[in-house]
Amino acid sequence: MSAGCITLAATLARIHGAQHANAAPARLLAVSKTQPAAVLRELAACGQRAFGENYVQEALDKQRQLADLDLEWHLIGPLQSNKCRDVARHFDWLESLDRAKLVPLLGAARQPERPPLNVLIQVNIDDEASKSGCAPDHIEELARRVTATPGLALRGLMAIPAPHPDVARRAEAFRRMHALFETLRGRHPGADTLSMGMSEDFELAIACGATEVRVGSALFGPRR
């Protein structure tokens, strides 16, 4: 087994260990920004299919190099309107939708013969001026726009809570996200994904209800 496979197995075991007894295991999104395609290929050989990228151009380059593999691509970085077409055509998931203006651009660009682009609404849960994400009050309006748009499927919420050193403060943000997710799911049954938790805190996020965790450095080592 390669070192990458051992780290992957250890991470999956930690995810499993953090899970409530009856819950489905949270999915692991391997966050591969700045990692070369060869590193993704190695992890794919160990069974990892879902990869998260922050920059559209970097992701497109890797997709070309890995076109022989059946991978699932998630955009997790901020999205500019001039990149909507590339994202709709070349990704499986967009996790960072945060404004209404992008919705028609994404829907129009998605190839009609493909399954819809899976969309998570990014929420600025700690109301940080520097962060992308919509205010909690705007989730429902965005959700309605996504569900009304052919080519898009509303799948849930994503957040990057402020990295408070205090674990209780982080857990509190995760719990607020979970409450917003439950409300969304009550209105939109297709919303089944709550993406939160990174290398430092994914076990805590799972304990608070995450269904997907986004893990970079714990899988790949420090970014290059």
Ligand X SMILES: *Cc1c(COP(=O)(O)O)cnc(C)c1O
Site residues, ligand X (CB under 6 A): 31, 33, 54, 76, 160, 198-200, 214-218
* Shortest reach from residue 215's CB to ligand X, in Å: 5
Q: Which residue is nearest to ligand X (CB)?
A: 216
* Shortest reach from residue 134's CB to ligand X, in Å: 15
Identify the three-state secondary structure at position 4. Answer: helix
* CA–CA gap between residue 116 and residue 154 (Å, rounded): 9
* Shortest reach from residue 95's CB to ligand X, in Å: 7
Check: CB of residue 94 under 8 Å from CB of residue 132.
no
* Shortest reach from residue 128's CB to ligand X, in Å: 13
- How many other C-beta atoms can be found within 10 angstroms of the C-beta atom of residue 192? 14
Q: Which is nearer to ligand X, 147 or 203 (CB)?
A: 203
* CA–CA gap between residue 186 and residue 113 (Å, rounded): 29
* Shortest reach from residue 99's CB to ligand X, in Å: 17
* CA–CA gap between residue 60 and residue 87 (Å, rounded): 9
Eight-state DSSP code of residue 96: E
Which residue shows structure tokens 């660009």? 109
- How many other C-beta atoms can be found within 10 angstroms of the C-beta atom of residue 1? 8
Check: CB of residue 66 under 8 Å from CB of residue 39.
no
Check: CB of residue 33 under 8 Å from CB of residue 218.
no
Q: Which is nearer to ligand X, 157 or 215 (CB)?
A: 215
Q: Which is nearer to ligand X, 16 or 114 (CB)?
A: 16
Q: Which is nearer to ligand X, 31 or 43 (CB)?
A: 31
Q: Which is nearer to ligand X, 26 or 149 (CB)?
A: 26
